[in-house]
Amino acid sequence: MKKGSLTHEYVKGLWEINPIFKQILGTCPTLAVTVSVMNGIAMALATTFVLVFSSLFISLVRKLIPSQVRIAAYIVIIASFVTITDLVMKAQFPALSKSLGPFIPLIVVNCIILGRAEAFASKNTPFRSVLDALGNGTGFLIALILMSGIREILGSRTFLGMQVLPNGFEPWTIMILPAGAFLTFGLLMGFSNAYMERKKRLEREDAINKYRKSSVTLKEQEA
Amino acid sequence: MKTIIHMIATLSIIGIVAGGLLAGVNGWATPLIEANKKAETEKAIFLVNPEGKSYEAVANAGFQIYKVYSDSKSLIGYSLVYEGNGFQGKIRVMLGLSEDMKKLTMYEVLEQSETPGLGTKILEDPFKKQFNGLVAEPNVEWVKGKAPSKQNEIQTITGATISSKAIVAIINNALEKARSLKEKGTL
């Protein structure tokens, strides 16, 4: 996976620049809708749809838009796709649309979409932009499933509506309240940072050890 | 000057294309959304009056109220939508009444934003069942922390007294409205 290769454009969104844990964008829907896994998946899919199509269109017209009005143009493009998503969901999946409430229309101001448009789609070819959007969308999906999985299991004993913890387990109501969202988010981010730190430290120590060994062997040869 | 024209032209073109696209999607979605809303109301009407087979909306009532008929086309009760303030936001309730307006058949919460795990117990059976066939004469009363002793009493939920009282208040207001309509002969 070289930097700049097509696979890397997709894979980087999963972890390396994960929109939630690394770029820390789009935290508002993350905190609000992750009370159940179903909500999390629906939110992530809706966002990915908007992200892919806005990235594609913004990348297609990137050379035609004067830079002074680019943000306005991006917002119009993004808002159109969000409204389409909202209408389609209301028409085809009314129950889901009801449980996500105002968070579908609010995708318009989700920073992941504007962030990717400004940071990537406005500077890259349409194909690469779509890969980048898909990668970031998948990263968002992974983060939302993690968050909502933890909150749903502990807060209402279920995963995707199926009971996974026995009735003897008293549900932690706080997990499905806003406070639970902050707790889960903070702890997850802390663990992921600690893991990355540890990985980096081990790599560094590894490199130092290798260097030491090679210098020792050099000295032995000289002697 | 050239950039200004360029800017205006780009934004106008994007706006026109987006507007056209949205108009098309909206034209396709509106009838479906309407149908969904209607199906949802219909489901709730029969949910609170389970023996009902057909219904008729009452016009000029000031709120949504439906006459529910049985198989043999005789009036068996009313389903009405009423709302009031809960703990955190509005609670909208579909209420089922017997045809003499003395008994409740059931209620169904259509919209609420109560505290999950506490206030949302108003959606669950142990609390809801108390309203099943409750005699609402002269209106519904609540008691806290003990079993109801009178036939028009219900027990509030521990930890969610405000939400429980809100449901009782909504039901009483709805009863009052519906009864005054009946006296006037609108129903």
What is residue B107's three-state secondary structure? Answer: strand
CA B1 to CA A51: how far, in whole Å? 34
pLDDT value for B147: 84
In the A/B pair of chains, how many CB contacts fall below 8 A?
63
Instruction: Choose the closest CB to A69 out of B10, B25, B29.
Output: B10
Whether residue B32 is contained in a domain is answered as no
Residue boundaries of the structural domains of chain A: 6-203
Classify residue A76 as exposed, middle or buried by CB count within 10 Å of its CB (0-12, 13-18, 19+).
middle
- Chain A residue numbers with beta carbons less than 8 Å from the beta carbon of B22 are 80, 83-84
Interface residues from chain B to A (CB-CB < 8 Å): 3, 6-7, 10-11, 14-15, 18, 21-22, 25-26, 28-29, 32-33, 36, 40, 115-118
pLDDT value for B59: 78
Which of A82-91, A111-120, A144-153, B131-140 is predicted with the least confidence, judged by mean pLDDT?
A: B131-140
* Share above pLDDT 90 across residues of chain B, in percent, rounded to a whole number: 25
Contact yes or no for A91 and B11 at CB 8 A: no
Split at pLDDT 50, 70, 90, the class of A2 is low
Which range marks the domain in which residue B163 is found?
Answer: 48-184
pLDDT value for A22: 86
The per-residue pLDDT for range A24-34, each reduced to its tens digit, is 898 888 898 88
> Domain count of chain B?
1
φ, ψ for residue B92 (rounded to 5)?
A: -110, 130
Average the pLDDT over A179-186 and give the result: 93
Whether residue B86 is contained in a domain is answered as yes
The per-residue pLDDT for range B52-74, each reduced to its tens digit, is 888 888 877 778 888 888 887 88
Whether residue B20 is contained in a domain is answered as no
A146-183 CB burial, b ≥16 within 10 A, e <16: bbbbbbbbbbbbebeeeeeeeeeeebbbbbbbeebbeb
Whether residue B173 is contained in a domain is answered as yes
pLDDT of B101 over the 60 cut: yes
Whether residue B39 is contained in a domain is answered as no
Whether residue B9 is contained in a domain is answered as no
Query: Cα dist. A30→A21, A40, A48, A60, B63 in Å?
Result: 11, 8, 14, 29, 37
